[in-house]
Amino acid sequence: MDWLGIGVTVIGVAFLVLVIVLIKPLNKLAGVLGGLQKTTDNLPTQVDEMMSQAKDALQTGNDTLSQINTQIKELSPIFHTIGDAGRATNHLSTSIADKVMNVKTDTAEGRSFITKHDLEGLYGLGTLIYYIVQKRKSEERL
């Protein structure tokens, strides 16, 4: 044999050893790739199912929001009425507070008038009533 034949034989034996060594890892890789193939085969159907479920959930959410909007539109006049009643109540309570403060001031003025002129007892009561009547008449003119 010449050198070329010996070199080809050595290379052939090296490849044979390499193939024998790589058989087990290549079989494992083939198994992993087979499992990956099974998983990816089911992937389109799973994605379709997830998309249809997401679509159903979004449609249900849209329907719920539509119902809520309709109900709020129906309740808006009630809320406006409640707001108007609150504003009217606020105006009334402000008016009452103003009247109470005026009566308090008027009473203090009447008390000082009675004390100043020594009008006490029954005469003082009559004077106080007269003073209140005069005050009411002056308020009615305004």
With beta carbons less than 8 A apart as the criterion, state whether 132 and 110 touch: yes
Whether the CB-CB separation of 106 and 135 falls below 8 Å is answered with yes
Q: What is the dihedral of CA 94, 95, 98, 99, to 10 degrees?
A: -140
* Whether the predicted model's global pTM rises above the 0.85 cut: no
Q: What are the tens digits of pLDDT across the range 7-53?
A: 899 999 999 999 999 999 999 999 999 999 988 888 888 889 999 99
* Mean residue pLDDT across the chain: 82
